Amino acid sequence: MIVETGHFALVLALAVALVQSLVPLWGAAQGDVALQRVAAPAALMQFALVTVAFLALIWAYLTSDFSVQNVVENSHSAKPLIYKISAVWGNHEGSMLLWVFILALFGAAAAVVGQDMPLRQRANTLAAQGWISTAFLLFILLTSNPFARLDPAPLEGRDLNPILQDPGLAIHPPLLYIGYVGFSIAFSFAAGALLSGRIDAAWARWTRPWLLVAWIFLTLGIAMGSYWAYYELGWGGFWFWDPVENASLMPWLSGTALLHSIIVMEKRDALKVWTLFLAIVSFSLSLLGTFLVRSGVLTSVHAFATDPARGVFILGILIVFIGGSLALYAWRAPMLKQGGLFAPISREGALVLNNLFLSAATATVFVGTLYPLALEATTGEKISVGAPFFNLTFGPLFLALLMIVPFGQSLAWKRGDLAAVAQRLVAAGVVALVAGALVWAYASGGSAVAALGAALSVFVIVGSFIELASRAWRSGGGLGLALRRAAGLPLSAWGTAMAHAGLGVTLLGLSATWWGAEKILTAKAGETLEIAGYQIKVDALTPRSGSNYTEMVAPMQVFRDGVKIATIEPSKRNYTTRKMPTTEAGIATIGLGQVYVALADESTPGEIGMRLYWKPLVLLIWIGSLVMSLGGALSLADRRLRIGVARRAAPRAAVPAE
Amino acid sequence: MTRKGRRLAMIGSAVAVLAVALGLVLFAMRGNVTYFFSPTEIVEKNVQPGARLRVGGLVKEGSVLKEAGQKITFLVTDTTRDLKVTYVGLLPDLFREGQGVVAEGVLDAADRFTATTVLAKHDENYMPREVADSLKKQGHWQGEKPAAQK
């Protein structure tokens, strides 16, 4: 019964979403207040219904209801509780339901928070949110129903794909989807603004917190996915420039550009039309990401069995939304009042440069990801575009962007003084050069790339905080005053510095990969191996079993100069239900670096084949992402950014809703 | 700076950045993309030894040989022709005889290949799309196995 209730709730949600997409729009066009007021309750209602459906599916998983096909295919009664829940979104149907659930959540939140907005704009925005809901609810109900029943019901389920049975993957999709779907709000705000023909600094203030939330979660989601791939796939890599990864990187890049351009719009009332364009592009790229992952048109290492019919449907959604929104943009954008031009040497000029580099970087990733598809469709030739391509195109653009980050951050609005900024950054430059030289000396015969990367990352980190320091440190103040001043700086300034420093931290982790070590070898029990100054004593293979798998573990002890510092247990697992083997890497974290061991199949008895890595500073790659997200959160916490505060501060004039 | 000057600065920097990006893309496209071939296509298209490419097909039953130092050789077949692949490293978990595989590396001769990467998939029902297409072309495609029969 509960399962049918879930299905029925989803159908009702579709009906409500249809009302939400059409009625407020008509109301806005006719100037009918009552019709426009339908938008908010409809968004809340839709959220309630989708929640019921989502909970119903979770319930089916928790109770291992094997009359539901989706549960049979992805669950097993012996599976640990956390994976029963995460299995809900560890498959196509369930993950689309999660997508719609988050979409409805954002819609409802926008309905509640957006009460300060002019009624007309709010009605248009929520209607746009309704269109997206309608499309995806239709998609679920017509092609991917998670509530389909099986008759007769099997006694046991087929279990979740073993590599998804991991805490990292339990939270990766929700994080990523909050990021993807969060951009839908920026999209709807843009569509609402285009429909209303009204766009100003207030629009930027309304949109920016939503954008920040989406960006924070997307950053965390990408980092989580990358760390998961690193430790779970046993390849020792963390980013493969695979289409599915690129699909999440593209909205992140354009979203980052949007986050910067919207600041210019808020502060200087400029770049309006461009910002709207980026809002449309960011969500379009999120949709494209969903399409690439769900349709299987691209060969990806992360591909799961896919269904072409669904791909065609999502392609349809893609064409309607991207085509439709760009058409709306082409039609309405010229009618918007353009903002003014400004001096190239200024904070806003630097932000434009940031946008140029980020857009160009997005474009290179886009070309590298989709060119093989276009080529195959037109000529039938099959190519793959991998890391060398992206290192050569995306790499230089992004490094150039990082070079200008500290400059941009330190330039003043309207008219900046580049010479003064350069003078302030001399200290950062010196520290960076010293760091680069140290790396060059330490990794003797090491790559110049590593030294340059390290120097650049140190420049970005130090440069990010120099601006704060120079604002806090006034001559004759003394340290106490400077600290008090620093504490008194707006949270958004701290947020900016943190986010930029995080970027530097990640780059430092990436640069360190150049001086790591890697060995492929075969060892016998009792043997001691050596990598980068660490000794690894290999014990005999021992069998072990978990609740739904058996494994062969090769316990190893890691020593440094005769002192034992860690024990690791790399293993080869075999998940009994699916008869699927997985490699569980053994990882010893030493400071910020890791000793990483992945086992091979046992070929000759008594011999253990393995791949051994020393990965210095590798954790910085993900710590940097966390720092970036923290920066975003600080910026979000800044009260000055909230529209309500500005309004409350202003004298309350009676403003009737249009 | 005049209004015209500002506009020029804006447009100029946009054009410069985009031109650099375009140049990088075109340059990278020349040497850094790899083509995908089946063992038959390597012979038919007369692919020269030394070429960097991806090859795909099925791992021939009984052809996997493991030697010392994690050196592995196996035959990739599209059932018409076989290609002997040598690989040093750890095979992906889902590498099995009779299953689809994609190897990336360098062609040594028309029938020998040294792989630097052997690609894995996350899902045991999944067939690399290139492999499925090339098997379809050869007429050996049996379609997705109905999951219930497993």
What CATH number corresponds to the domain at position B96?
2.40.50.140
What interface predicted TM-score (ipTM) does this complex get? 0.80
Chain A closest CA to B120's CA: distance in Å? 6
Q: Which chain A residues are within 8 Å of B124, Cβ to Cβ?
A: 578, 580
Q: Which chain B residues are within 8 Å of A414, Cβ to Cβ?
A: none
Chain A closest CA to B91's CA: distance in Å? 7
The highest-confidence range among A323-337, A438-452, B28-42, by mean pLDDT, is A323-337
Query: How many CB pairs below 8 Å do chains A and B form together?
Result: 141
Same domain membership, residue B133 and residue B61? yes
pLDDT of residue A188: 93
Cβ of B65 under 8 Å from any chain A Cβ? no
- Burial string for A203-215 (b: 16+ CB within 10 Å, else e) reads bbbbbbbbbbbbb
Tell whether the model's pLDDT for residue B79 goes beyond 90.
Answer: no
pLDDT of residue A244: 84
Bridge partners (DSSP) listed for residue A530:
A535
Chain A closest CA to B73's CA: distance in Å? 13
| Strand-strand pairing, B33-37 and B52-59 | parallel
Residue B9 forms part of a structural domain: yes
Same domain membership, residue B56 and residue B85? yes
Tell whether the model's pLDDT for residue B2 goes beyond 80.
Answer: no
Search chain A and give the residue with CA nearest B6: A343
Using DSSP, state whether A415 is helix, strand or coil: coil
Using DSSP, state whether A154 is helix, strand or coil: coil
pLDDT of residue A447: 74
Cβ of B9 under 8 Å from any chain A Cβ? yes
Residue B150 forms part of a structural domain: no
Tens digits of residue pLDDT in A578-610: 778 888 899 999 999 999 999 887 666 778 888
The distance from CA A486 to its chain's CA centroid, rounded to whole angstroms, is 30
Chain A closest CA to B40's CA: distance in Å? 15
Tell whether the model's pLDDT for residue A229 goes beyond 90.
Answer: no
Q: Which chain A residues are within 8 Å of B102, Cβ to Cβ?
A: 299
Give A276-291 as a 3 state SS string. Answer: HHHHHHHHHHHHHHHH
d(CA A10, CA A122): 25
Tell whether the model's pLDDT for residue A444 goes beyond 70.
Answer: no
Structure confidence at residue A654 as a pLDDT band (50, 70, 90): very low
Mean pLDDT of B40-69: 85
Residue B149 forms part of a structural domain: no
Nearest CB among B24, B104, B123 relative to A304 is that of B123
Tens digits of residue pLDDT in A509-520: 999 888 888 888
Mean pLDDT of A540-565: 89
Same domain membership, residue B1 and residue B67? no
Of chain A, the percentage scoring pLDDT greater than 70 comes to 93
Interface test with B, best of A72, A166, A253, A301 (most B CBs within 10 A): A301
pLDDT of residue A574: 87
Search chain A and give the residue with CA nearest B150: A578
Tell whether the model's pLDDT for residue A186 goes beyond 90.
Answer: yes
Same domain membership, residue B98 and residue B51? yes
Interface contact B10-A343, CB threshold 8 A: no
CATH architecture of A1-165: Up-down Bundle (1.20)
d(CA A126, CA A132): 10
Chain B closest CA to A438's CA: distance in Å? 31
Specify the amino acid at residue A589: T
Average pLDDT, chain A: 87
Mean pLDDT of A503-529: 89
Same domain membership, residue B39 and residue B20? no
- Burial category of A403 from C-beta neighbours within 10 Å (exposed 0-12, middle 13-18, buried 19 and up): middle
Spatial CA neighbour of A84 closest among A67, A63, A101: A63
Same domain membership, residue B130 and residue B71? yes
Q: How far apart are the first and last CA of chain A?
A: 46
Task: Give the number of domains in chain B.
Answer: 2
Q: Where are the beta strands (DSSP E) in A55-213?
A: none
CB A405 within 8 A of CB A503: yes
Cβ of B97 under 8 Å from any chain A Cβ? no
Tens digits of residue pLDDT in A331-373: 988 888 777 777 888 898 899 999 999 999 999 999 999 888 8
Q: Which chain B residues are within 8 Å of A305, Cβ to Cβ?
A: 123, 125-126, 144
Same domain membership, residue B62 and residue B3? no
Chain B closest CA to A222's CA: distance in Å? 18
Nearest CB among A161, A342, A343 relative to B123 is that of A161
Tell whether the model's pLDDT for residue A650 goes beyond 70.
Answer: no
Q: Which chain A residues are within 8 Å of B119, Cβ to Cβ?
A: 301
Interface contact A163-B94, CB threshold 8 A: no
CB A355 within 8 A of CB B10: no
Could you tell me the residue range of the domain that residue B125 belongs to?
35-142
pLDDT of residue B121: 59
Q: Where are the beta strands (DSSP E) in A506-548?
A: 517-524, 528-531, 534-538, 542-545
The DSSP secondary-structure symbol of A337 reads: P
pLDDT of residue A293: 77
Residue B74 forms part of a structural domain: yes
* Range with the poorest average pLDDT among A228-237, A406-415, A616-625: A228-237
d(CA B60, CA B50): 24
Tens digits of residue pLDDT in A350-360: 999 999 999 99
Spatial CA neighbour of A506 closest among A168, A239, A172: A239
Same domain membership, residue B40 and residue B21? no
